[in-house]
Structure 1
């Protein structure tokens, strides 16, 4: 069977922060990134719509030769992953795999907290899904998970305001709301792949003893472990060190925005789904 790139999917740009970590930890692999920018954001859409959109993108990545696809999107991981894994994959190709970003984060939650209280900052859709409390509870039933939806944070990042003075108000407000309702929190999970760009400001407003954690390196370490434990899948992932970028919207616009998240220039191509 011909080896293919590791597919990395996101509704927009945030997944590029995860891809950046993949490349840092596993630079030898080929990666194919797909951003469904034409239909972003996913956060406010229904479960059925997110599932339909995500499945279309997964099918596209399969058609491009990907045997392993990572949903580098919390909303897609929360609203679509389980259905794709349990219902769609057995019909499409049982030998392929689709993984998300929430479970790897939940698996290490117990290592991040002493108080056994953690906070999750995420989009409204991810919070409404309850995925983080459910997944963390599977591994660490003793941990309490407190969530806070931050609907203004993604627009701030995508409009280039992550470092602006205006961002301080929205970041401080959400941190005050969450930590005010649960003062015992000592670990914060950034449950959206856009939020790492806000991490410097987030850290400014955290009280002593509270740490914030982005997902990129967590998910990258989990992927490395997965490939080590599944050599048959690792063999189906090509190793040429290439990076390919696709978008369902305008490539010029994608490349301009992508550099903010990826930290390097990209040259994307448009795809129709």
Structure 2
């Protein structure tokens, strides 16, 4: 290869400005899949902190620390914009990152989450004005959805239910097995016991779409079950239209790279392909506990 051409290729690779997509594990790939469907031309990096997952039961400080470390890693890969495709990270780390970490050194970077775009539209799905929110312990305890939905739909009543066993079931490939039915039914019975008038269920964890068919089967006919992927993707399309200063930085070569903090990349690739809907080949990134 001629030296000048080789340098050109290196320069192009170095100048890529991808959109970063972060999750504590695999679930964010359901959001990433929707984003790619809506915005296929952009360059992307997906980063899963699988070694330290799940985040759901960790403290506020630990979740912020882990999330901020991963966001900085994505910044160092050239990402001007990072999407936290993780409800727990969005609930417990996003505000601190936006208000404390970005001003100063990273003032030209942006970090967005999945809670606000969901809260902006979820009230449009309900007829009874009663919504159920299914999430991790961390997301439920933060009450982020209760607070955010109330801002946009003050007449909507929000009920919450933590489903701590769903993520381990999903990440261990048990989501479509008969054994998962017991835990799906158990948590749905608990939230429906709070109000029989709930008619809309929000899957407030990006892992949960893999259980959506089971969830729907244990709910009354006509019940609306809402996953976040398309909502977040449409919101990102709108965001880029409104923020030319970010959109103009992003490169569009159609590249997609995947990274994980687990050293068993083959296992990650196998499971991740189920979430993303396509073959994945990832690389390992070391992160300390």
TM superposition score category, shorter chain reference? over 0.9
Q: State the match for 1:235 in structure 2.
A: 248
How many Å apart are 1:177 and its aligned residue?
A: 1.1
| Residue in structure 1 matching 2:266, options 252, 257, 260 | 252
**Equivalent residue for 1:23?**
36
Instruction: Provide the rounded CA distance (Å) in 2 between the counterparts of 1:87 and 1:264.
Output: 37
Counterpart residue number, 2:12: none
- Is 2:230 the partner of 1:217? yes
TM-score by length of 1: 0.97
1:45 aligned residue: 58
Give unpaired runs (5+ residues) of structure 1.
none
Matched, 1:114 2:134: no
Runs of 4 or more consecutive aligned structure 1 residues displaced over 4 Å after TM superposition: none
CA contact (8 A) 1:3 1:235 kept: no
1:70 to 57, 68, 83: 83
- Contact between 1:51 and 1:80, CA under 8 Å: does it hold in 2? yes
Post-superposition offset of 1:91 = 2.6
Residue of structure 2 in register with 1:103 after alignment: 116
Matched with 1:181 is 194
Rg larger for: 2
Give SS of 2:21's match.
strand
1:8 equivalent in alignment to 2:21: yes
Partner residue, 1:126: 139
Q: Secondary structure at the match of 1:90?
A: coil
Corresponding residue number in structure 1 for 2:9:
none
Q: Deviations over 1:223-257 (max 9, x none)?
A: 01101111221111111111000111121221121
Q: Secondary structure at the match of 1:164?
A: coil
Shift in Å, 1:51? 0.2
Q: Once superposed, what is the RMSD of the aligned Cα atoms?
A: 1.0
The reply on whether 1:265 has 2:279 as its aligned counterpart is: yes
**Count of matched residue positions in the alignment of Structure 1 and Structure 2:** 272
2:42–2:252: 8 Å Cα contact kept in structure 1?
yes
Q: Using the alignment, how far apart are the partners of 1:187 and 1:123 within structure 2?
A: 18
Residue 3 of structure 1, CA deviation: 5.3
Residue 208 of structure 1 deviates from its aligned partner by: 2.2
TM-score (norm 2): 0.92
Q: Residues 3 and 236 of structure 1 are in contact (CA less than 8 Å); yes or no, is this contact kept in structure 2?
A: no
